[in-house]
Amino acid sequence: MSQAGSSSAVSSTSPEDDWASVRDPNERRKIQNRLAQRKFREKARLQKEESERKEENQRKASGAYTAPEVDEVDMGDESGLPWGSISMRHIVSMGKAKEQSSRETSIYAAASRSGGCSR
């Protein structure tokens, strides 16, 4: 990007920040440094806000739902079906096993992509 292009974008903020017409190299450098510092601080502030927002969302999401443990599932049969129903205990245990298997597979795949071994 040329200096002329960058000065026109910045000149809209304040007339004292327009360094295009400044002849003194030291003064020009001061103005450019001030603008760069301002941009850096703004970017850091936005990144901090984004990080805090993600952290808060993660915290809220982690407490939103947890699947029941196999022991917490009621053993009673579902009423209303003449032939009974499938066992919720079986469904939960199979779901937990599949989730664990999926987690192990993804860890193994990530390690093989990076060239290391997680086991």
pLDDT of residue 89: 77
Spell out, as residue ranges, where the chain has pLDDT lower than 70: 1-13, 74-82, 84, 113-119
Based on the fold, state whether residues 84 and 57 are members of the same structural domain.
Answer: no
**What is the structure's pLDDT at 18?**
83
> pLDDT digit string (tens) for 64-91?
777 777 777 766 656 666 676 777 777 8
One domain, residues 60 and 73: no
Q: Which of 28, 51, 66 is the last residue of a domain?
A: 66
DSSP per residue, 51-94: HHHHHHHHHHHHTT--PPPGGGS--SPPTT-TT----HHHHHHH
* Number of domain units in the chain: 2
Which pLDDT score is estimated for 20? Answer: 85
Q: Which range of residues forms the domain containing residue 1?
A: 1-66
> Cα separations (Å) of 36 from 2, 13, 19, 49?
15, 13, 12, 20
Residues 62 and 74 in one domain: no
Residue 104 has a pLDDT of 80
This prediction's pTM? 0.43
What local confidence, expressed as pLDDT, does residue 82 receive?
65
Domain match, 96 and 115 both: yes
Is residue 58 located within the same domain as residue 85? no
The last residue of one of the domains, among 47, 66, 85, is: 66
Is there a single domain that holds both residue 89 and residue 103? yes
**Identity of the amino acid at 63:** G
* Chain-centroid distance, C-alpha 34: 31
Are 80 and 116 part of one and the same domain?
yes
**pLDDT reported for residue 75:** 66
* Whether residue 38 sits in one domain with residue 15: yes
Of the residues 43, 66, 89, the one at which a domain ends: 66
Q: Return the pLDDT at 115.
A: 59
User: Would you state the pLDDT for residue 97?
Assistant: 86
Give the per-residue pLDDT at 9: 45
